Structure 1
Amino acid sequence: MIYYFSKLVICWQFGKYGDEAPNYKLGDDRDKAIYYLSTCCQIYAKGCEQMKPIGSTGRAWLKGFHIFFACTWIGTAISMQLLTFVRSHISTGDELWAVNAAIKLLDDYIIIPSAFGVLITGILFSWLTNWGFFKFNWIIVKYLINIEAILFGTFFLGPWVNGMEAISKVERLSALQNITYLHNAKMVVYFGPLQALILIAAVFITVLKPWGKRGKAEKKPHN
């Protein structure tokens, strides 16, 4: 589909098929951009057509890494929530900063890599097996959950956690009277568990594979 679309773009731009386009003089930068972008689309499409699905051993390894990253992501998210509850029972400024620093450490070095690990292995699994990217509704939902979790963590949860660590590092126990700190703490308490629950829901979506195939019901590929 991408291949024929790119052919159509080149045909519209130059009046002939892309294979003959180099014989024509490229005009401004727009012409060049359209031509090279379309050519790249053709190369990508042909590569996808020639790519053979991986065997059962490679599929098993890929599935294992995907499960590993998912377990790491969810387990760490739950651990961060437990630390959040512990934070409400501390009595010294050093303890407050230590808990916030631990949460930030988990977020930076475990949550972020595992989240992208899930996304990358998921993309490879869709690309290199018969499951595909858009054949099944539950796969689309999983991608939406994965991307939503990464974006929400990047633009909201992450900055809230980083801000709490930075404030408590300087102000110690006085951070509990800081309006920004209290706001960040409230947001983390509200949205942290929600994020974890959504990730857990993604696990059950993977196991149950609901909603079937798009368009019509067909036999599911083997895992």
Structure 2
Amino acid sequence: MKKLGPAGLKWLKIIHILLVTLFFGGIMSSLAINLGIKFAAYRETMETYKNVVIISDHIIRIGAVGTLFIGFVYGIFTNWGFFRHRWVSVKWVLFVCQTLIGIFIVDKLMLANMALLETEGSDALINPVFLHNHSVRQDFVIIQISITVFIICISVIKPWKKKKLTSKNAGIR
């Protein structure tokens, strides 16, 4: 398979940074909005949840799907591969875990709370299920942020690289 040249790699990196920014910025925005919800006013809570859904659907999802696609492009069309470097493999595993958390926990709880707000109205604000969903969702958004920060650190530090054997160390066993 033909590999990308230097110009292609630069554009790929630019697109990757922009998509990760969308993804991470969306998650951070979601947390900030989630922390600011005051359960005293139904309309305000409903509007806030609608905004969180919009951020999830139109920012986080675009960033996540785009980042996944760019990861495949990196794996196929560059020398990085998928499993050639342990740090790249760890990033893949963490990103998949993070995405599954987003789909099956964060989004599920967000949509469950939207449904409660729509069906129960202001009574949803005192519903223990609604409050539990909100709290658990917030905790998992923090976990997603932590995973993203760790992935960024891995991307910069590139740990677990094989150390190059120097001529000085070559004779020592």
Q: CA RMSD in A?
A: 1.6
Note the C-alpha offset of 1:171. Answer: 2.6
The normalised TM-score by structure 2 is: 0.89
For 1:182 and 1:90, locate their aligned partners in 2 and report how far apart those are by CA, in whole Å: 9
1:69 aligns with 2:19: yes
- AA in 1 matched with 2:27: A
For 2:94 and 2:19, locate their aligned partners in 1 and report how far apart those are by CA, in whole Å: 15
Given that 1:164 and 1:181 are in contact with CA atoms closer than 8 Å, whether structure 2 keeps it comes out as: yes
1:122 aligns with 2:71: yes
SS in 1 for 2:103: helix
For 1:147 and 1:177, locate their aligned partners in 2 and report how far apart those are by CA, in whole Å: 34
Q: Percent identity of the aligned residues?
A: 29
Q: Cα deviations across residues 70-112 of structure 1 (Å, max 9, x unaligned)?
A: 111111101100111111x353110010011111111112111
Identify the structure with bigger relative contact order (alpha carbons < 8 Å, sequence gap 6+). 2
The alignment of Structure 1 onto Structure 2 pairs a total of residues equal to 165
Question: Which consecutive unaligned segments of at least 5 residues does structure 2 have?
Answer: 166-173
Q: 2:171 is matched with which residue?
A: none
For 2:150 and 2:125, locate their aligned partners in 1 and report how far apart those are by CA, in whole Å: 33
Note the C-alpha offset of 1:169. Answer: 2.7
**1:13-92 alignment to 2 at 5 Å?**
51-87=1-37, 89-92=38-41
The higher radius of gyration belongs to 1
- AA in 1 matched with 2:14: G
Q: 1:172 is matched with which residue?
A: 121
For 1:98 and 1:155, locate their aligned partners in 2 and report how far apart those are by CA, in whole Å: 23
Given that 2:82 and 2:88 are in contact with CA atoms closer than 8 Å, whether structure 1 keeps it comes out as: yes
Given that 1:96 and 1:173 are in contact with CA atoms closer than 8 Å, whether structure 2 keeps it comes out as: no
Note the C-alpha offset of 1:177. Answer: 1.9
- AA in 2 matched with 1:155: F
- AA in 2 matched with 1:157: V
Question: Which consecutive unaligned segments of at least 5 residues does structure 1 have?
Answer: 1-50
Q: Cα deviations across residues 115-148 of structure 1 (Å, max 9, x unaligned)?
A: 1111110111121111111111110011011111
For 1:218 and 1:187, locate their aligned partners in 2 and report how far apart those are by CA, in whole Å: 45
Among 127, 137, 142, which residue is 1:193 paired with? Answer: 142
Greater shift, 92-101 or 163-172, is seen at 163-172
For 1:189 and 1:143, locate their aligned partners in 2 and report how far apart those are by CA, in whole Å: 24
For 1:173 and 1:112, locate their aligned partners in 2 and report how far apart those are by CA, in whole Å: 29
1:211 aligns with 2:160: yes
The normalised TM-score by structure 1 is: 0.70
SS in 2 for 1:72: helix
Q: 1:100 is matched with which residue?
A: 49
Greater shift, 167-176 or 54-63, is seen at 167-176
Q: 2:170 is matched with which residue?
A: none
1:157 aligns with 2:106: yes
For 2:45 and 2:88, locate their aligned partners in 1 and report how far apart those are by CA, in whole Å: 41
